[in-house]
Structure 1
């Protein structure tokens, strides 16, 4: 996401007794024992981003908001040049059952899962996105594989923006590592998807984002979902954010058709993802995603049959700071708590 990693958090959230019991049991489970029984992602999923640096429990907030799937942001290296990815780039939060293992197991026990996400604005502007930082393709692929065997996840998200879009060597290494991890998953019988989260214009990907996908095709890396960030346009124009979501996705659909001419229109929509930013985004009030926009986009997403509907971020899904733009812990608009979660949850439920 186009976000700085300010360490803002919501007030502490109380865990329900049921979730405490569930999480405690999950903490003692052997994640490796379940890794060969990983549940594939559903064809249509709602998976808001969770700001992993706040110290909150993703499983607790998922239960409170009604979400089954969360995208956990972010993994990055602790320093440029490293080949080790830690949660939040913090070496005390490695890819290990002790870090988010109980939370992820709790999501899985409730019929959902986590989607670990690499990159984000903070990593992409400091050389600490994994493939920008590490020059060893095998090591990059090994980190992706370790996420699967440690947590039993079935999708990895790659949030590539800002400086990472101009790092041709990093782009090439990342796609080579995706292809290696996909071959590993096929050999070992594990479902594994990769999504690319990319900035967009109101008419589709800019050339830099499109080049990431072109390189993936050249490297035989299968991209399962292209997830566009339909916010932070910074073009100075007035925006109806729901209309702009549709035109951005239409533009992406045409770009995907050019990349994958043998795929049907339905299949191309089925590899499309959309991530909104509820309320006032980083640009300001001209780019405000309203509660009415959310209902419109959810209906459109269901009708089009896109793969993923998401937003940045779960901790913002409340109206505690009306008038404030780009906040980490609130949307900046008047809304019911968890309004966007509840509205988008319909997309991930039974098809209409």
Structure 2
């Protein structure tokens, strides 16, 4: 995965030499058996260089399991791993140990991940950097015993996919640490996170797995990065996830011919990038895509759902490009986490839940006037919690407000929609969202505007060439149209009710 910003302090110019150590002498920590991960787990990536607490964000988001990014060396040629390659964050209890124990105490866990885009392009991925297989294996063992974790992830991308010597060293080291874990009676799984095409692994990614088989290294999970395709094609990101995973399934079936279909699907993970990915708006993963992927993942019984990254699961930069601290689309904070969290085996529905409704659910207003509705909440399970309310979907010339903006479940709020004479005629779906610490729901209010001056064909005529982004308006064949999301080449009036263009009425 890409890291688009760097909060590292200045690194030392050279790493200190590391003496070769026997694998059994790396750590004085007891080799107790860590609890295995659930058979199906949601574990989004946590950006460990931001200074935030993984335990705090785990609790806020509801993501009980996290994939911790990334472990790498400080400089190429070193055999010592640090979090983010930062020498102030060694593999030690003082570096995230308290957070990890807190997460484990809540019934969750973390998956430390080696590599990532920055390491893989700078020669600081541990197996690319270090030429000693025993020392690489010793680093893996130290991470396992320091944090008492049951899985390690290898995030191998770009240049690291072409480093055949590093690939071979990595898999030999994996075999060594697996043999140690078996002898110690410890659970230890290995996952490979690899880039993918929409039809499965590219040859370079498949070669990593073939080398693992040749070295006797057990790969428990192959986690596909189902984003950043960079192929300049049109993308349905949910469908592309499904076809990429099916392609991987077919590849795994050839590598592991003795495994059943359920076992093969149980080896597969997918990592999405919520909202706009690094390529741009053409590869946008929506909340609707997330629900589709969740349902598909449950039906197939895959091992893991993840996304890049937890700190991006918010709507702080709608309409923007790829960012490392927001999704680039309109959403509530933790929307993607709430969709995926129930995927973890043993998860249950929220114990404290509520319902949300708008009464009445529709109104017609003449431009310049106003309409209001009562937003009602009710406790449906457990205790009453505070529900924070939001509203979205109001077009130009319409102002939406809620009073109050938070209620205790069972209470009500008033949604008021005030229009101006410049409002564009049409019917709009106004969405009221409600989120408590335990659950989230939404209700839709249909507002029809008539008699507005904004219904003239003053918007620029639609053309097949330009790129239109969400909320941009065009005129076409006597109607005004508004784009719901990024589009190009799709003619207004041809995409259907659920398509990209919303008909704002005749002009």
User: Counterpart of 1:83?
Assistant: 79
Deviations 1:39-70 (A, max 9, x none): 11110000000000000000000000001100
Deviation of 1:318 (Å):
0.2
| 1:145 corresponds to | 141
The structure richer in helix per residue is 1
Instruction: Render the CA deviation track for 1:234-290: whole Å, top value 9, x for unaligned.
Output: 000110000000000000000000100110111000000000000000001110000
Q: How does 1:18-167 map to 2 (within 5 A)?
A: 32=29, 35-167=31-163
User: Does residue 342 of structure 2 align to residue 346 of structure 1?
Assistant: yes
Cα separation, 1, equivalents of 2:157 and 2:36 = 27
1:7 alignment partner in structure 2: 6
Report the TM-score when normalising by structure 1. Answer: 0.91
3-state SS of the aligned residue for 2:190?
A: strand
1:301 to 285, 288, 297: 297
- Secondary structure (helix, strand or coil) at the match of 2:99 reads helix
CA distance in 2, matches of 1:248, 1:46: 19
1:322 to 298, 318, 325: 318
Aligned to 2:333: 337
Secondary structure of the 2:154 match is strand
Question: What is the distance in 2 between the residues matched to 1:221 and 1:300?
Answer: 29
> Which runs of 5 or more structure 1 residues have no equivalent in the other structure?
9-30
Secondary structure at 1:286's aligned position in 2?
helix
Distance 1:221 1:349 in 2: 26
Compare relative contact order (CA 8 Å, sep 6+) and give the higher one, 1 or 2: 1
Q: What is aligned with 1:277?
A: 273
Distance in structure 2 (CA, Å) of the matches to 1:122 and 1:326: 17
- The runs of 4+ residues in structure 1 deviating greater than 4 Å are none
Distance in 1, Cα, partners of 2:347 & 2:93? 34
* 1:201-280 correspondence to structure 2 within 5 Å: 201-280=197-276
Between the aligned partners of 1:170 and 1:7, the Cα distance in structure 2 is 25
Q: Which structure has the larger Rg over C-alpha atoms?
A: 2
Q: Which residue of 2 aligns with 1:26?
A: none
The CA deviation at 1:5 is 4.3
Offset at residue 351 of structure 1 (A): 7.9
CA distance in 1 between counterparts of 2:320 and 2:248 reads: 31
Structure 1 equivalent of residue 192 of structure 2: 196
Distance across 1 between alignment mates of 2:99 and 2:68: 11
Q: CA deviation at 1:323?
A: 1.5
Higher strand share: 2
CA distance in 1, matches of 2:233, 2:347: 35
**CA distance in structure 1 between the aligned counterparts of 2:236 and 2:165, rounded to whole angstroms:** 37
Deviation at 1:349, TM superposition (A): 4.1
Equivalent pairs counted in the alignment come to 329
Query: What do residues 129-162 of structure 1 show as CA deviations (whole Å, max 9, x unaligned)?
Result: 0000000000000011001110100100000000
Aligned equivalents of 2:6, 2:60: Cα separation in 1: 21
Q: TM-score, normalised by structure 2?
A: 0.64
